[in-house]
Every structure is written in structure tokens, then in C-alpha cells.
């Protein structure tokens, strides 16, 4: 068998485990440096492949996608999102993807633009001159408000603090190393559709943290199920949840049942805010760090936007701002890796990959790989203005292939709206270090947030 090169000695594997905990990216970088861009290793019975190669990544996500499922990490995620789109497989996923593609069409998403504008303005109105603000916190809050209002409708959703703390509690529970081991052990017994049974097993584990985790799940379920009942009763067509309730499958005319609705709503709450918030925080960090970028962004914003807020048409003309957002997601991709598992023996390039291997596409290092990017560490939005030369699948912040992000358009529209409105109306300076330490969980975040001082208003 022609396996990819990689660490084989137990002592090296143990060192890797320790390093993974301290600084996963340094581990990834050192592994690729030592063994090349396709690496294989085994922990006990579990095989892993790591990819830092655009063609190999394309193979697992696109050309050979039918031979891969989401990996064991996503399996445990089912405890939270049940059978939502992010984690479902097979026919269930196909059907849900068909239904949600219509709901997330550009035309449908544009309807939520006024919510994006209004929530950006509301956030800004909370700020005072000379106040120190953590943009990481602010971006988290505003994106959660936007996805909540888009889902449930304005003025109907006043519990976003509970939602936020519950979502954070649930995510952090799934991310600790101790649970990673549970995750590996449980991977032999896939949760599949049996969320209730899996939750019952998990609940019986003698861990303090499980109690908090289950409290958080209960809070979210209560809120979301209540909202579903209410919107079904109202029978209106005003928000995303209404669209989810009423969307009909063109092949068999079926609609989602309440359980499926719950799973998709929780899925969208989770997938739809933290990633965008992190992408925005990193973009602010770059704009505030590089005066030449700030100058160009401001020139564009001031020449394109005539009023306090951009019209939808004006927003589409902010080409340099969009490129700044894209370049920021190149260097700091919120989803910094994507993982899959092959259901049959596969080949990646000329290597043999045994069945059941966890294959990790390392987006962070791929986006910085000098084989694809000139001067990869410098921040240059211009790359995305003349983007023809970017190698296919060397830039995949929203994933690639059939399982790529369904919310990419929503996220981009939302991010440009928030950036444009704040840039047009406020002046701020960066207080956090220019090159902040990372916190790497499911998403990549600046460890200490992004602290700024509000210097004043351009127009108030």
C-alpha cells in the first residue's frame, strides 16, 4: 500500500498530541514542512490524513465527494444540531439541501438586507465617544441579532442573550480534548438519526460539564420549539422560519416536520453567526492595522455611499471592501479546517487511503501555501480584484463541492453591510496588539478579542 509519508514513531505521535493542544496551527505547519503537503499517520486504530494541497482538497470535497462522509467530529455535533444540514448525510441531506437552496437564494436573502442595516445602526448607537469596545463581542452580538431576526422576525425575539450563552456553552463542551477522546470512542457507534438515544447516553456520563451542556440544550430547544409553534399558528410568510415551514419539495411535495424544523433552525443559528462574526473581527483587525488599506476602503465608502447607510445597489459597488473581506478570510479563515472520512478505500493523488481514514483539509495553511500565493503572508486585497490567477480550490473559506456553505451569500452581504455602515459613520483606533494570539476551536478567533477605542462620529 502506497501510504502518504508522515510520522510513525510513537514518541513523535505523543509529542504531536501535546502540541495539538497548545497550538494546533504550529503543529500543522511543522508537519507539512517535514513531510510534504499530504501526510498520513495513525493514533491507535484511527487513521488520519492531512492535506495542504489544492488538487487533493478538490478531490475529497468535489470530484470524489461521493466516497466521503463528514468525519467523526461532525458526528458528535449531532447532539446539538440533530439532523440539520451541516451534519446530515445521504438522502436526508440531499432533500434538505434541495429545500434550503431555494430558501437561501440571492433573491430571498436580499429581503433581509433591511434587518442587516438596522441592526448595524443599533449596534453603533450603543457606542459612545472615547468608549473602549471589543469588536469581537460586538460582531458576535450583531450577527446573532441578524440571524435571529431573519429567522424569527423582528421584535419577536428578545432572548438573544440566553441563546448566545447557551450556544457558547454547547460549542465549548464539544471542543475540549477530553471530549475529543469520547468523540473518537463514540465514532465506532455513529449517532445517525438517534439523537435522543445519544443524548441519553451522554447525559449518563459522570461529568460536571455535561450538566451545563444539557441545560443549554434545554434552553435552546424550548425557545426554538416555541418559536416554531408560534409561526405555524400565524401561518404568515415574513421570515426565514416561515420559509422553512412552507417550503415544499418539488419531487414528492413533502414539507419539513417539527423535528426537522428544530434541527435546521438550531443549525442555522450556530452556522450562521459565529463564523461571520469571526470573519468580521479579523477584517476589522486588518483594516485598523494597515493605514493604506484603511485609506483605500474609506475613499471607496465615501465615494460610493451617499447617505448614512448604503442602498443595496451601492453595497454591490464596494469592490475594494469586498476584496478586503476576502483577503482577510484568506489569512484568517473562520473555518480553518474541514474534515471528511472515506467510506471505501480511496486514492488521493497517487497515494492509497485506507477505508475509514479521517481526512483533514487544512484551509489555514492552504490559504498561505507559497505554492499558490505570492508573498503569502502579506495582506493584499488587490489579489481579489484581479482574481483570475488564483488557483482553483486554493481559496475555500466557504468550503467547496456539494457541501459548500449554503449561507455564503447571506454572510457576505451581512459582513459588507456592517463594515460599510461602521466605516462610513465612525472613527476608531485599534487597542489590541496588531498581531494577536489565536484561539482555535471550531473556528479561528483572536484570543483576546479585538479592542478598539471609538474616536468619534463622521456624521451624527
The nearer residue to ligand HEM, 51 or 85, going by C-beta atoms, is: 85
358 contacts ligand HEM (rule: CB under 6 A): no
Q: Pattern of binders to ligand HEM over 153-192, x per CB under 6 A?
A: ----------------------------------------
Using CA atoms, how far apart are residues 359 and 341, in angstroms rounded to an integer? 6
Q: Is residue 179 within 8 Å of residue 173, measured between CB atoms?
A: yes
**Closest separation in Å from C-beta 167 to ligand HEM:** 14
Minimum distance, C-beta of residue 350 to ligand HEM, in the bound complex (Å): 24
In the complex, what is the shortest distance from the CB of residue 211 to ligand HEM, in angstroms, rounded to a whole number? 29
In this chain, which residue has its C-beta nearest to ligand HEM? 407
Is 436 one of the binding residues for ligand HEM (CB under 6 A)? no
Residues in the interface with ligand HEM (CB under 6 A) total: 25
DSSP secondary structure string for all residues of 53-80: -HHHHHIIIIITGGGEEE-HHHHHHHHH
Considering the complex, what minimum distance in angstroms separates the CB of residue 143 from ligand HEM? 8
Q: What are phi and psi of 353, to 5 degrees?
A: -120, 115
Q: Which is nearer to ligand HEM, 319 or 408 (CB)?
A: 408
Choosing from 267, 324, 425, 445, the residue that interacts with ligand HEM (CB under 6 A) is 267
Shortest distance, position 135 Cβ to ligand HEM, whole Å? 15
CB of 265 to ligand HEM, least distance (A): 11
Q: Which residues on neighbouring strands pair with residue 39, listed in sequence order?
A: 50
Helix (H, G, I), strand (E, B) or coil at 439: strand
Q: For ligand HEM, give the closer residue by CB, 63 or 404.
A: 404
Footprint on residues 119-148 left by ligand HEM (CB under 6 A): 147
Distance CA(154)–CA(148), nearest Å, equals: 8
Q: Residues 363, 24: contact at Cβ < 8 Å? A: no
Among 52, 14, 56, 54, which residue's Cα sits nearest to residue 36?
A: 52
Confirm or reject binding of residue 409 to ligand HEM (CB under 6 A). Answer: no
- Give CA torsion, residues 439, 444, 450, 456, to 10 deg: -170
Report in angstroms how near the CB of residue 131 gets to ligand HEM at its nearest: 27
The answer to the question of residue 271 lying near ligand HEM (CB under 6 A) is: yes
Question: Can residue 332 be called a binding residue for ligand HEM (CB under 6 A)?
Answer: no
Taking the complex as a whole, how short is the minimal distance between the CB of residue 88 and ligand HEM, in angstroms? 8
The CB-of-273 to ligand HEM minimum distance in angstroms stands at 7
Stretch that binds ligand HEM, among 51-59, 174-182, 208-216, 330-338 (CB under 6 A): 330-338
Beta-bridged to residue 68, according to DSSP, are 342
Is residue 334 a contact point for ligand HEM (CB under 6 A)? yes
Nearer to ligand HEM by Cβ, of 399 and 449: the residue is 399
**By the 8 A CB rule, do 381 and 320 touch?**
yes
Give yes or no for a contact between 87 and 70, defined as CB atoms under 8 angstroms apart.
yes
Count of other CB atoms within 10 angstroms of residue 445: 23
Using the 8-state DSSP alphabet, how is residue 430 labeled? E
* 383-386: long-range contacts, CB 8 A cutoff, minimum separation 24: 383/323, 383/327, 383/330, 384/322, 384/323, 384/326, 384/327, 385/319, 385/320, 385/323
**401-413 burial by CB neighbour count: b if 16+ within 10 A, else e?**
bebebbbebbbbb
| Contacts of ligand HEM in 68-87 (CB under 6 A) | 70, 85-86
Q: Does 410 bind ligand HEM (CB under 6 A)?
A: yes
Among 67, 276, 283, 358, binds ligand HEM (CB under 6 A): 276
Sites of contact with ligand HEM (CB under 6 A): 70, 85-86, 97, 147, 267-268, 271-272, 275-276, 279, 334-335, 338, 397-399, 403-407, 410-411
Amino acid at each position: 500500500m502506497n501510504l502518504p509519508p508522515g510520522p510513525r514513531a510513537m514518541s513523535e505521535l505523543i509529542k504531536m498530541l501535546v502540541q495539538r493542544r497548545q497550538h494546533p496551527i504550529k503543529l500543522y505547519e511543522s508537519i507539512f514542512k517535514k513531510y510534504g503537503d499530504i501526510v498520513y499517520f495513525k493514533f491507535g486504530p484511527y487513521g488520519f490524513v492531512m492535506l495542504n494541497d489544492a488538487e487533493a482538497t478538490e478531490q475529497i470535497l468535489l470530484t470524489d465527494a461521493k466516497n466521503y462522509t463528514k468525519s467523526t467530529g461532525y458526528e458528535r455535533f449531532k447532539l446539538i444540531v440533530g439532523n440539520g444540514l451541516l451534519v446530515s448525510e445521504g438522502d436526508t441531506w440531499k432533500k434538505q439541501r434541495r429545500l434550503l437552496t431555494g430558501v437561501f437564494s440571492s433573491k430571498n436573502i436580499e429581503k433581509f438586507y433591511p434587518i442587516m442595516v438596522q441592526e448595524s445602526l443599533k449596534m453603533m448607537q450603543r457606542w459612545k465617544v472615547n468608549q473602549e469596545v471589543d469588536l469581537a463581542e460586538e460582531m458576535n452580538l450583531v450577527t446573532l441579532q441578524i440571524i435571529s431576526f431573519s429567522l424569527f422576525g423582528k421584535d419577536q425575539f428578545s432572548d438573544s442573550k440566553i441563546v448566545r450563552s447557551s450556544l457558547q456553552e454547547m460549542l465549548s463542551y464539544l471542543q475540549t480534548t477530553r471530549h475529543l477522546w469520547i468523540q473518537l470512542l463514540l465514532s465506532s457507534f455513529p449517532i445517525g438519526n438517534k439523537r435522543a438515544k445519544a443524548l441519553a447516553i451522554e447525559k449518563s456520563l459522570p461529568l460536571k460539564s455535561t450538566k451545563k451542556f444539557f441545560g443549554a440544550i434545554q434552553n435552546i430547544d424550548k425557545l426554538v420549539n416555541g418559536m416554531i409553534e408560534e409561526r405555524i399558528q400565524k401561518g404568515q410568510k415574513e421570515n426565514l422560519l416561515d420559509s422553512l415551514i412552507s417550503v415544499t419539495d418539488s419531487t414528492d411535495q413533502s414539507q419539513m416536520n417539527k423535528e426537522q424544523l428544530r434541527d435546521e433552525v438550531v443549525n442555522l443559528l450556530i452556522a450562521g453567526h459565529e463564523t461571520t462574526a469571526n470573519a468580521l473581527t479579523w477584517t476589522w483587525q486588518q483594516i485598523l492595522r494597515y493605514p493604506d488599506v484603511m485609506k483605500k476602503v474609506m475613499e471607496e465608502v465615501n465615494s460610493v455611499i451617499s447617505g448614512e447607510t448604503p442602498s443595496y445597489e451601492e453595497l454591490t459597488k464596494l469592490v475594494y471592501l469586498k476584496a478586503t473581506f476576502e483577503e482577510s478570510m484568506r489569512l484568517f479563515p473562520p473555518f480553518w479546517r474541514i474534515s471528511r472520512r472515506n467510506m471505501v478505500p480511496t486514492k488521493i493523488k497517487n497515494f492509497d487511503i485506507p477505508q475509514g481514514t479521517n481526512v483533514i483539509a487544512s484551509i489555514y495553511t492552504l490559504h498561505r501555501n507559497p505554492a499558490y500565493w505570492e508573498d503569502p503572508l502579506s495582506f493584499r486585497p488587490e489579489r481579489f480584484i484581479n482574481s483570475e490567477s488564483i488557483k482553483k480550490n486554493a481559496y475555500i473559506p466557504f468550503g467547496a463541492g456539494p457541501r459548500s456553505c449554503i449561507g455564503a451569500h447571506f454572510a457576505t452581504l451581512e459582513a459588507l453591510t456592517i463594515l460599510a455602515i461602521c466605516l462610513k459613520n465612525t472613527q476608531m483606533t485599534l487597542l489590541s496588539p496588531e498581531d494577536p494570539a489565536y484561539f482555535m476551536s471550531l473556528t479561528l478567533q483572536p484570543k483576546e478579542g479585538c479592542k478598539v477605542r471609538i474616536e468619534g462620529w463622521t456624521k451624527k
